[in-house]
C-alpha cells in the first residue's frame, strides 16, 4: 500500500462527512478525498442493482484519484454493495452498518429504535445482523423517507425536518425505546433536533467513530499509515451537484472547533 496516498471516502451526498470528520480527527496526518454523489441522492429508495452501479462508479473515481483505501460512508451502499466491491477490487473497503449490536446489548428497556433508509432496512446484511442480536429485544424500525433530500439542501433544523422526525420517532417513544440507532450517515446532522424530541433517557448512537477506528486498524495492518508528522495533509471534498452545502458544513465545523482552522480543505465541483 502507498502510504502517502489519500484515504478515499464516498457517500450518496454530504452524509458521510459525519464519518470523514471522525477519520481526520483520528488520523491527523492522513490526506483524504471525499466524494459527495449528491446528484444521485437519495440512494435509499433505489434498487440493489442501481446502488451497486453507483458504488462502482464512485469506487472507480476514487481509485483514479489515487485512494489507497475506500471508506463506504453510506449504510445503504454498504449493506447493498460492499460484498460486490470487495469481490471485484483489490483495495481494502471499510463499510458502515447500523450499530444494532451495542444498542441491543446495552438496552435496559429491551427496546431499541432504528431510523434508516428503505435500502438499508430491506437488505439481507441488515436482517442477518438484526436477527443475530435482537432475539430478545423489541426493535422499532422506521424508514426516514424525505430526510436525506432535506439534509442535502441544508435544511438541517427546518420546520419540515422537525415535523418528519416527530412523526418517525412517535412509535419509538410510545414503545419505550432507550436507544436510537442512526442507520444513515446523514442523520448525525440531525442530532440537535433529535435530542429535543426524544426523552432524556434515550441514548442516540451512530457508527462514525467505530468506522474511523476500523479504518485506522486496516491501514495499520497494511502498513499504510503516514508516520511523517511534518507532512501537511490535504483534504479534497468533491461534489457533483454544488459545493454550497459542503462549504456550509465545513464553516460550521470550524466555528464549533470540531475542525482546526489550520486544516487545509478544498471543496470542488466535479462530474463523476
Nearest to 38 by CA among 14, 65, 63: 14
Is 74 among the catalytic positions? yes
Name beta bridge partners: 183. 116
Out of 14, 71, 74, 151, the active site residue is 74
How many residues of this chain interact with ligand DGL, rule: CB under 6 A?
A: 16
Cβ-closest position to ligand DGL: 44
How far apart are CB 56 and ligand DGL at their closest, in Å? 16
How far apart are CB 152 and ligand DGL at their closest, in Å? 8
How far apart are CB 118 and ligand DGL at their closest, in Å? 8
Residue 12 or 107: which CB sits closer to ligand DGL? 12
Residue 107 or 185: which CB sits closer to ligand DGL? 185
Q: Is the peptide bond before 32 cis (omega within 30 degrees of 0)?
A: no
For position 11 contacting ligand DGL by CB under 6 A, the verdict is yes
Residue 130 or 226: which CB sits closer to ligand DGL? 130
Out of 41, 62, 184, 246, the active site residue is 184
DSSP class per residue in 175-237: TT-SEEEEESTTGGGGHHHHHHHS-TTPEEE-SHHHHHHHHHHHHHHTT-----TTS--EEEE
Nearest to 92 by CA among 232, 177, 214, 228: 214
Beta strands in the chain (DSSP E): 7-11, 32-36, 69-72, 93-94, 111-116, 138-143, 179-183, 203-205, 234-239, 264-269
For position 207 contacting ligand DGL by CB under 6 A, the verdict is no
Site string for ligand DGL, 33-72 (x = CB under 6 A): --------xxxx----------------------------
C-alpha to C-alpha distance for 147 and 223, rounded to whole angstroms: 39
Residue that is written with C-alpha cell 424500525 in the block? 141
Q: How many helices (H) and strands (E) does the chain have?
A: 11, 10
Binding to ligand DGL (CB under 6 A) within 143-162 occurs at 148
Residue that is written with C-alpha cell 508528522 in the block? 229
**Judged by CB under 6 A, which of 184, 202, 212, 265 binds ligand DGL?**
184
DSSP letter for 39, please.
Answer: G
Spacing of C-alpha 260 from chain mean position: 21
Q: Residue 162: phi, psi to the nearest 5? A: -65, -40
Binding to ligand DGL (CB under 6 A) within 65-104 occurs at 74-76
Residue 148 or 226: which CB sits closer to ligand DGL? 148
Name the one range near ligand DGL by CB under 6 A: 183-191, 211-219, 229-237, 246-254.
183-191
Residue 7 or 41: which CB sits closer to ligand DGL? 41
Binding to ligand DGL (CB under 6 A) within 110-129 occurs at 117, 120
Is 61 among the catalytic positions? no
Cβ–Cβ under 8 Å, residues 23 and 258: no
Binding residues vs ligand DGL (CB under 6 A): 11-12, 15, 41-44, 74-76, 117, 120, 148, 184-186
Q: Which residues are catalytic?
A: 74, 184
Amino acid at each position: 500500500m502507498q502510504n502517502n496516498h489519500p484515504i478515499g471516502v464516498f457517500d450518496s451526498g454530504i452524509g458521510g462527512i459525519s464519518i470523514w470528520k471522525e477519520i481526520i480527527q483520528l488520523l491527523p496526518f492522513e490526506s483524504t478525498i471525499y466524494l459527495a454523489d449528491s446528484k444521485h441522492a437519495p440512494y435509499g429508495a433505489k434498487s440493489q442493482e442501481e446502488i451497486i452501479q453507483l458504488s462502482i462508479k464512485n469506487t472507480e473515481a476514487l481509485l483514479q484519484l489515487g485512494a489507497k483505501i475506500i471508506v463506504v460512508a453510506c449504510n445503504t451502499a454498504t449493506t447493498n454493495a460492499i460484498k460486490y466491491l470487495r469481490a471485484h477490487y483489490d483495495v481494502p473497503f471499510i463499510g458502515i452498518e447500523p450499530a444494532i449490536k451495542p444498542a441491543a446489548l446495552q438496552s435496559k428497556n429491551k427496546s431499541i429504535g432504528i431510523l434508516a433508509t428503505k435500502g438499508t432496512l430491506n437488505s439481507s446484511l441488515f436482517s442477518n445482523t438484526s436477527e443475530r442480536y435482537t432475539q430478545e429485544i423489541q426493535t422499532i424500525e422506521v424508514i426516514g423517507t424525505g430526510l436525506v433530500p432535506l439534509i442535502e439542501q441544508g435544511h438541517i433544523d427546518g420546520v419540515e425536518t422537525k415535523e418528519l422526525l416527530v412523526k418517525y420517532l412517535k412509535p419509538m417513544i410510545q414503545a419505550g425505546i432507550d436507544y436510537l440507532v442512526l442507520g444513515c450517515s446523514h442523520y448525525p446532522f440531525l442530532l440537535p433536533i433529535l435530542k429535543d424530541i426524544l426523552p432524556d433517557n434515550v441514548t442516540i448512537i451512530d457508527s462514525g467513530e467505530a468506522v474511523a477506528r476500523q479504518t485506522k486498524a486496516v491501514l495499520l495492518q497494511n502498513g499504510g499509515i503516514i508516520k511523517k508528522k511534518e507532512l501537511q495533509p490535504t483534504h479534497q471534498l468533491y461534489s457533483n451537484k454544488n459545493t454550497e452545502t459542503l462549504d456550509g458544513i465545513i464553516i460550521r465545523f470550524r466555528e464549533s472547533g470540531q475542525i482546526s482552522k489550520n486544516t487545509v480543505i478544498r471543496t470542488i465541483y466535479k462530474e463523476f
